[in-house]
Amino acid sequence: MFRLEEFWQGKDWKMKVLYSKAGVATQILVSTIKYDLLIDVGDGVLRDLLEENYDFNKLEAIIITHGHYDHIGGLWTLLGFLRMLGRRRDLKIIAPKNCIEVKSLVENFIKIYGKTIPYEIILIEVSDGEEIIIGETVIQAFSVIHRGSIRHLGVLEPIPALGYSIRYGDQRIVVSGDTGLCENLIKYVENADLALIEATIKEKSLETSEVHLSIDEAISIGSKAKKFILIHKR
């Protein structure tokens, strides 16, 4: 069923799309009773969380789908804000292996602020099929196909990009990340309780086949889950 709302309530956990617009920002908050996961941290993520009167003590991990600016543009700000608050708990950042944008950003944040960071930043690089367990949540990464594009250069080379399947109890959420049409995404979306599917392109072309999904493709894939929400629209 095609869902337009940006909120989902599961059994003892919930999901809210704080913001998602292609080329601007995406940030998705997954909340359990004890802790939260933040999927992608585009520009404005701190503002979006503050507008939710968010309790930053609940943030256990940040999960990054890929290194494009509209998915990591707010990471530096968020790390700095947690430093200012005097956070003491470790913060996990899960990102695709060889995602140079995230790795460089984290390494340089630590280099600049050094011993004045009161919490430890733990960067966990993952590849296709790997699982990370956080509390009662099992996060499985799966590879997707994604290329960037710039108007004056056209379509660029493929980059490290992941979707994530997140299981809590007997329910499962799938986040596509940015992707072209690929079998891996279809496989993981099958029978998920909720799928968040990017739907950037109105009309597909051969040139953009590995850049983003069309709305029609996103609906077709999302329909394989029990419920789905289209995100990352223009």
Residues 58-117 have pLDDT tens digits of: 999 999 999 999 999 999 999 999 999 999 999 999 999 999 999 999 999 999 999 999
Confidence tier at 204 by pLDDT (50, 70, 90): confident
Class of domain 2-231: alpha beta
Is the dihedral angle over the CA atoms 201, 207, 212, 214 positive or is it negative? Answer: positive
- Mean residue pLDDT across the chain: 95
Q: Is the pLDDT of residue 22 over 60?
A: yes
**What is the pLDDT, as a whole number, of residue 130?**
98
% residues pLDDT > 70 (the chain): 98
| 3-state per-residue secondary structure call for 149-205 | EECCCEEEEECCCEEEEEEECCEEEEECCCCCCCHHHHHHHCCCCEEEEECCECCCC
> What pLDDT was estimated at residue 1?
36
